[in-house]
Amino acid sequence: MGFIRKKVLIVVLSIMGVLLLNFGLATLNSSAEKNISPPQKNADVKMMEKIEEKLSGKYDISGVSIKIHVDNNTKDIYIGVLGNQEYYDSVKQEVKDIVKSLIKSTKFEAYNVNVKKSESPMVNKELLERHNLISEIGKTIDNDISKAHSNYFDKINMSITPPDSPPELIIEVDTFLERNNQETIGKEIENTIHTTLGKKLFSNKLVNESTVKIYIYNKHKEKINTSF
């Protein structure tokens, strides 16, 4: 009988051990899932959100956008103000000063700050839609490049031509690539972007209606892809 009790005890302890082990693994998996960080937003999106958060509530703002004009190498931050001319004139300089203080000592410090009067609700709605669409593009591409090329990827910059111009979406990627290994990896990064556009952003209105141009730069700020 003593032998049987010992045998039963061993079996019970074994079952308890398995249950505890499974519980421990489940806890670890749950903990690991909680610790997975969401994809980081790119710098342009973060700055636009920061500006909007600072201005919203105090001023009637229709939207914020950041644009880089490749042709003349100018960089601009646009803030749209709702309301009549009198209101626009009264807040224009205040809004400009606030934005300049926010971008001070950041990579955006040298950007031109343009405060514009929004003409109509229709224009405001269009600007908001464009902002949301370009934010979706930037976040998705940033996430995919970060996963596929984490050792070489620095940041991504997005810009779109004004609504009254032929639609052109410009995607610029800064990397840490040296000159000796830039061409092959640069092409891989470009292919990753094309894949993301085709598989994940095929329903995005800006992607469908715009001419897409992709520029990849090495750590020396030299363009390394030859597509354009």
Chain segment 38-53, per-residue pLDDT in tens: 444 578 888 988 998 8
Q: Work out the average pLDDT over 133-137.
A: 89
Which of the pair, 4 or 125, is modelled with greater confidence? 125
pLDDT band for position 188 (50/70/90)? very high
Q: Assign domain 39-119 to its CATH superfamily.
A: ANL, C-terminal domain (3.30.300.30)
Fold: same for 39-119 and 120-228: yes
Residue range 10-25, pLDDT digits in tens: 433 344 444 434 444 4
- pLDDT for 59: 84
What are the residue boundaries of the structural domains of the chain, listed by start? Answer: 39-119, 120-228
Nearest to 190 by CA among 222, 156, 225: 225
Q: Which two tokens stand for residue 154?
A: 């620095």
Q: Which two tokens stand for residue 36?
A: 């997975």
Give dist(CA 59, CA 81) in Å, integer: 8
Q: Which two tokens stand for residue 113?
A: 């700050």
Give dist(CA 41, CA 39) in Å, integer: 7
CATH of 120-228, one of 3.40.220, 3.40.1350, 3.90.1200, 3.30.300: 3.30.300
Nearest to 77 by CA among 96, 53, 101, 59: 96
Q: What is the pTM of this model?
A: 0.49
